[in-house]
């Protein structure tokens, strides 16, 4: 696995990635949701970052606050001071990435850098906390992913959209050695592929693809899976990670959680 000096991938999985924390009864991507995930036993939190007008990396999936706070204002148009005045349910606020990393020092974070403006603020936050060894940085946009990974040599990363397309194309090659060589090329530097189980009618996650990726040192993580029956089926295929809104349920399926969900 080409994760450089990163400790993000140890110990061995299967891994449960708490998607935006555990937001069953807490607002997503908040300190409360992260605390609930950690309390449930999650070692990994998946989250997203945007940047404020004064270039601070903040934890938020959408580029505006309409869905989470009922306010049609873009995160990028607010300073951190202005954003801190916006109240989310349960009296939560949009945390900075630095706050989240600092508050949960034993937790590994899977960070989706949503926009180019968030690259430098994200790098600064990670460096200030000294969290390089416990973050995985990714983005659907290959240019964003490369910028943030280049700024933090050795940091863990997962494939962007072009890499996933390359995985799908490589699976059509019948000769195993050639197929694996292609996978190594398109996934150079990546320790994981993070994908949905299917795209429309196209099945993305198959036992053969999972095995091929494992053979070249790359994990398969599947999002966003909330049904325990589906979790069990995917784990039986050999996937290494489940990205889920229900980390409490997923932890039971991998044998590391309490018997009763929250």
Residue 77 — pLDDT band, cuts 50, 70, 90? very high
> How confident is the model over 16-28, as pLDDT tens digits?
999 999 999 999 9
Checking DSSP bridges between strand 202-203 and strand 198-199, what pairing results, if any?
Answer: antiparallel
DSSP E strands: which ranges in the chain? 15-19, 44-51, 57-59, 64-65, 71-74, 108-113, 135-138, 156-157, 192-196, 198-199, 202-203, 219-223, 241-244
Task: For residue 210, give the nearest of 225, 194, 226, 229 by alpha carbon.
Answer: 194
Q: How is the chain split into domains, by residue range?
A: 15-156, 158-253
pLDDT of 260 strictly over 60: no
Which residue of the set 19, 50, 221, 240 is catalytic?
19
> How confident is the model over 234-258, as pLDDT tens digits?
999 999 999 999 999 999 999 865 5
Residue 2 — pLDDT band, cuts 50, 70, 90? very low
Task: Give the count of beta carbons closer than 10 Å to the beta carbon of residue 112.
Answer: 19
Task: For residue 239, give the nearest of 191, 217, 190, 206 by alpha carbon.
Answer: 206
> How confident is the model over 157-181, as pLDDT tens digits?
999 999 999 999 999 999 999 999 9
Q: For all residues of the chain together, what is the average pLDDT? A: 95
Tokens in use for 102?
Answer: 């600092």
240 is catalytic: no
19 is catalytic: yes
pLDDT attached to residue 12: 81
pTM of the predicted structure, to 2 decimals: 0.94
CATH code, residues 158-253: 3.20.20.190
pLDDT of 6 strictly over 80: no
- What is the b/e burial string over 153-184, where b = at least 16 CB atoms within 10 angstroms of the residue's CB? eebbbbbbeebbebbeebbeeeeeeebbebbb
pLDDT attached to residue 257: 58
- 15-156 CATH fold: TIM Barrel (3.20.20)
pLDDT of 80 strictly over 90: yes
Residue 13 — pLDDT band, cuts 50, 70, 90? confident
Angle between helices 161-170 and 142-151 (to 10 degrees): 110
pLDDT attached to residue 1: 40
């Amino acid at each position: 696995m080409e994760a450089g000096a990163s400790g993000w991938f140890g110990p061995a999985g299967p891994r449960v990635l708490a998607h935006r924390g555990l937001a069953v009864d807490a607002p997503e991507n908040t300190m409360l949701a992260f605390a609930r995930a950690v309390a449930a036993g999650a070692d990994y939190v998946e989250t997203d970052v945007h940047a404020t007008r004064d270039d601070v990396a903040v934890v938020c999936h959408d580029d505006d606050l309409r869905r989470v706070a009922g306010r049609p204002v873009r995160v990028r148009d607010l300073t951190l001071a202005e954003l801190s005045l916006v109240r989310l349910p349960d009296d939560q606020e949009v945390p900075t990435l630095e706050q989240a990393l600092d508050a949960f020092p034993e937790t590994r974070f899977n960070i989706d850098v949503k926009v180019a403006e968030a690259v430098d603020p994200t790098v600064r936050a990670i460096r200030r906390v000294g969290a390089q060894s416990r973050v995985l940085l990714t983005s659907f946009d290959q240019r964003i992913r490369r910028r943030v990974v280049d700024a933090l040599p050795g940091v863990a990363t997962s494939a962007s959209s072009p890499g996933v397309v390359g995985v799908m194309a490589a699976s059509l090659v019948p000769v195993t050695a050639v197929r694996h060589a292609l996978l190594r090329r398109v996934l150079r530097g990546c320790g994981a592929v993070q994908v949905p189980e299917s795209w429309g009618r196209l099945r993305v996650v198959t036992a053969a693809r999972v095995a091929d990726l494992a053979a070249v040192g790359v994990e398969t993580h599947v999002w966003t899976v909330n049904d325990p029956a589906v979790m069990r089926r995917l784990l039986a295929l050999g996937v290494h990670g489940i990205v889920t809104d229900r980390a409490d349920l997923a932890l039971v399926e991998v044998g590391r959680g309490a018997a009763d969900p929250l």
